[in-house]
A and B are shown apart, each in its own frame.
Chain A
């Protein structure tokens, strides 16, 4: 029976002639033979894919040197577990480093984060101790420290040494700037009240200003101890002091003594401040004494010009206002030797000072700005800077700010970006100027002529004295003579007589009474003569023909 479903039958009409038609069957396009190769291909591809997928990530790490690295042998480890191997070591394109191609196991892909670190572990003896001794026998290997961040990085720069702090360690990283901290090295501890809470991770030198930069790391939770008012100081070595109790020796820790160390804290008198962020920069003081003298950070910088000598004024000298410290001298004198005279400055010597508001209140930038404004107002009211003697024996000077009454009006001037505080001569300079003025006037006096005249007068006086002495001797002889001795008695008698005579002229004396009476009689006579004279005036011939005298009016009996 013909199966209509038989695919080998290709007849347009199989029902028309099933006995005379040829059964034509086309050639099949696919041969079962191909099953094998196809299966082989598939299996091969699958194997290839599986092989590819089973391969771990391949990374490239750049190291400074390939010491101890052998292609195909040097292993890559993390947590002492082999996770890869070095496949190739080649020179970098710049010929100053080596590029190491590393093949890692697949499961290590999540470890290749942005902050992952690689370094070569070799035998190492340092201040932190001896490490990597096992590599003497096994050979050097590359250590991987996975960090945080997104995975997927494939190109890394290897570290020269094992990092002191793993990148994923929680904590705070800070920058410390020091003018002189030769005893601080990488790995030096960071101490708080003698307890190690971190360490120095990196040291570098700024060739521009000569400052040393330290990267410090403080582990969590001790990073909260660092605030905006925290101060760092060098705690290396031993502090020796002498007082009435004897010698005092103090050191932070043995490690700090041997390897150097940095201590931090908030100085007494400062507020707790604000939390700090990663990467904040702090100043590293030389020691606790340096910190005590200059505990403030925020300051306003001013330039002072002095016409007098500034010998005795040193960097770090205080700036006082009536005995209260308000700042510090930052720099003294000229910075360039060929600027001995300047058209604007003249021959005045510049001194740069920091006015630090922290001495009087808050040590913040806002307080510094407010203090600068109040200082400007004070200058307009007569505040001036002057040099004062701090120590008479050593001649040390300091800058004194005070109000002066006899000064011309002035203000804080901004000259080429620098704020200038007006200055006045110091008390000693004024005294010196007065003395010089006095001496010049003294010099102009005709002293020689005066001395000559005085000499002449002295010789004449001497002659006069000699004459006077002779006269005195003669007078003494006279006084000692008998006649003179009898003189007092005679004088007394004469005085007695004179007194009696004077008494006779006194107000109660009879003579005076007689005189007064005589005067009264004279007055009466004159009054009468006056009447006669009036009569003759009225009647000149009264002498010959006397006029008849009028009769006096008669008083009558009165009425009580």
Chain B
């Protein structure tokens, strides 16, 4: 009897101390113009995308102050950000055929949003050594969320990545 009471007391205590945890949401980078065909005759493909260490996590990063970044706990990437960025850039640059022409390596230094709704994308790219001249360039893009929330934040991420892809296209002689 005593044991029963102790167990029940413990159970009630545990129930009383338990907290409810909010559910986690997962997001996917999607190219808003993925259905449009790539530029005809663009012989380039993205072979790799590398991220800065702070982006190598499945938390969506949000800048809260000038120097503070907060990894969102309930809002996460459904796939590694590196994989999503690679897919989006490949689709944008060469359409469905990701094996043609010059190979490009992309590195993303910064890709995050802010509480104010501004998104930043910074990084650089370089063509791989092979036939022809080696080309390289930088992109520094900023955008704004069209609406509040993480869904719009992810959409803004995808927009910036597409703009970076367009900048790379413009720098390549076969794609401009």
What residues of chain A have their CB less than 8 Å away from a CB belonging to chain B? Answer: 517, 520-521, 523-524, 527-528, 531, 544-560
Write the nearest CB–CB distance from A509 to chain B, whole angstroms: 14
Select one of B70, B72, B144 contacting A558, CB under 8 A: B144
What residues of chain B have their CB less than 8 Å away from a CB belonging to chain A? Answer: 14, 17-19, 21-22, 56-59, 62, 64, 70-75, 80, 82-83, 113-119, 143-150, 152-153, 156
Residue of B nearest to A551 (CB): B22
Docked-complex contact A557 and B145, CB < 8 angstroms = yes
Docked-complex contact A559 and B22, CB < 8 angstroms = no
26 contacts between A and B (CB under 8 A): A517-B83, A521-B80, A523-B57, A524-B56, A528-B57, A544-B14, A546-B18, A546-B21, A548-B19, A549-B19, A549-B73, A550-B73, A551-B22, A552-B70, A552-B75, A553-B64, A555-B62, A555-B152, A555-B153, A557-B146, A558-B144, A558-B145, A558-B156, A559-B118, A559-B144, A560-B144
| CB within 8 Å for A557 and B148 given contacts A546-B18, A549-B22, A551-B22 | yes
Docked-complex contact A527 and B57, CB < 8 angstroms = yes
Docked-complex contact A549 and B21, CB < 8 angstroms = yes
List chain B residues, Cβ under 8 A from A520: 56, 80, 82-83
List chain A residues, Cβ under 8 A from B58: 524, 527-528
List chain B residues, Cβ under 8 A from A550: 73
| CB within 8 Å for A524 and B62 given contacts A555-B148, A558-B117 | no
Write the nearest CB–CB distance from B80 to chain A, whole angstroms: 5
> What's the dominant secondary structure at chain B's contact region?
mixed
Residue of B nearest to A548 (CB): B19
Complex CA–CA separation, A262 to B159 (angstroms): 126
Write the nearest CB–CB distance from A541 to chain B, whole angstroms: 10
Docked-complex contact B149 and A554, CB < 8 angstroms = yes
Complex CA–CA separation, A557 to B156 (angstroms): 11
Complex CA–CA separation, A559 to B71 (angstroms): 22
Docked-complex contact B70 and A553, CB < 8 angstroms = yes
List chain A residues, Cβ under 8 A from B156: 558
| CB within 8 Å for A555 and B17 given contacts A520-B56, A549-B22 | no
Complex CA–CA separation, A560 to B115 (angstroms): 14
Scoring A545, A548, A552 by chain B CB atoms within 10 A of each residue's CB, the highest score goes to A552
List chain A residues, Cβ under 8 A from B75: 552
Docked-complex contact A556 and B115, CB < 8 angstroms = yes
Complex CA–CA separation, A547 to B18 (angstroms): 8
In the A-B complex, list the 3 residue pairs whose CB atoms are closest, starting with the nearest. Answer: A558-B117, A558-B144, A527-B57
Complex CA–CA separation, A560 to B141 (angstroms): 12
Complex CA–CA separation, A546 to B56 (angstroms): 27
Write the nearest CB–CB distance from B55 to chain A, whole angstroms: 11
List chain A residues, Cβ under 8 A from B153: 555
List chain A residues, Cβ under 8 A from B74: 549, 551-552
Write the nearest CB–CB distance from B2 to chain A, whole angstroms: 22
